[in-house]
Amino acid sequence: MLDIATEVSAALDANKPVVALESTIISHGMPYPRNVETAMAVEAALRDGGAIPATIAVLDGKLKVGLSPDEIQSLGQLGLDAIKCSRRDLPFVVARRMNGATTVAATMIIAAMASIRVFATGGIGGVHRGVEETMDVSADLEELANTNVAVVCAGVKSILDIGRTLEYLETKGVPVIGYQTDNLPAFYSRDSGFPVDYRVDTAEEIAAAIKAKWAMKLNGGLLIGVPLPEEHAMPKEEIDSVIVDAIAEMQQQGISGKETTPYLLGSIVERTGGKSLDTNIQLILNNARVAAEIAAKMTL
Ligand code: PSU
Ligand code: MN
């Protein structure tokens, strides 16, 4: 089932840095055509940083590790018509030979199958606000608990309950690392107000912690929060009020389950007149640069 691109498997065999990328961010996270432009730019940023990109998706029931530009283009055009695949979806998308875009959880699973240890994305799923009512906790958190991949992100978006997301990760033994920051970033802004477990200032030290974790057979991932560059950050109050409105509208429309995150992301882009999309693109490029550095240190 696993179909690893030649370039990716050659890099892995030669112990060269490889960084996994998810595909739900392409299909469900951003509108076409900027989703495709961004996916290509993120791959280029990894290459500039000396790492081989491995964008992951399920195509025709195959677990693809490394997509061609044409494959990225067609996933981008499919958009919301692609199946958003998390852990529970993989068996059916594979058995029915369908096309699916992988979430953080499913990307981690497939990256681990391919022995890729570092994964860059924008934001992860987490505990949703209103969890007392909905029990909506992303399968991404459970995957971080169990699967040996380090995930580089821009922290946790405030569409989620950041405090409860951190509690969940603590329970599951997932280290939350702040890259050159004491507080977890909040995606569009640099500071969520919640402290990380460990501030780490170099890629080298992050790689050392990843290696130590797995050498002790402590299975599961690590979460590395990278604040977006200051010049692209959005004022916290501004983005928070947009998010509150977006959540209220979503509840009115009765949206739930796997549609929740894509709906909110789209609504935020609309409400900010596209500004949040520019921010989103900048932060993922920045995460890719940091992930390339960590992946390089992992090969030593
Ligand atoms: N957060 C973002 N952009 C995204 C996602 C989350 O800022 O594209 C996507 C990721 O693929 C993530 C998924 O794994 O949403 C989480 O969905 P859910 O909450 O349904 O598990
Ligand atoms: Mn959910």
pLDDT at 16 over 90: yes
CA of 137 to the centre of ligand 2 (A): 5
- 21-70: per-residue pLDDT in tens? 999 999 999 999 999 999 999 999 999 999 999 999 999 999 999 999 99
- Provide, rounded to the nearest whole percent, the portion of the chain with pLDDT above 70: 100
Q: Is the CB of 99 under 6 A from ligand 1?
A: no
d(CA 169, CA 159): 17
CA of 215 to the centre of ligand 1 (A): 29
Q: Is the CB of 258 under 6 A from ligand 1?
A: yes
Please, what is the average pLDDT of the chain? 97
Q: Which atom of ligand 1 is nearest to the CA of 30?
A: 8
Active site residue 22: yes
Amino acid 249: pLDDT:
96
Amino acid 158: pLDDT:
87
Amino acid 22: pLDDT:
98
Taking residues 93-117, report their average pLDDT: 98
- 175-198: per-residue pLDDT in tens? 999 999 999 999 999 999 999 999
Nearest to residue 250, comparing CAs of 273, 237, 267? 267
Annotated catalytic residue within 64, 157, 213, 258: 157
Show the tokens assigned to 145: 């608990």
- Provide, rounded to the nearest whole percent, the portion of the chain with pLDDT above 90: 99
Q: Which residues pair with 152 in a beta bridge?
A: 120, 224
Note whether 228 and 279 are within 8 A (CB).
yes
Q: Which residue has the tokens 């050498």?
A: 215
pLDDT at 262 over 90: yes
Taking residues 83-108, report their average pLDDT: 98
pLDDT at 125 over 90: yes
d(CA 104, CA 107): 5
- Residues that place a CB less than 5 A from ion ligand 2: 136
Domains defined along the chain, listed by start: 2-298 (3.40.1790.10)
Note whether 83 and 98 are within 8 A (CB).
yes
User: pTM for the full model?
Assistant: 0.98
Amino acid 250: pLDDT:
95
Q: Which atom of ligand 1 is nearest to the CA of 106?
A: 14
Amino acid 231: pLDDT:
96
Amino acid 65: pLDDT:
99
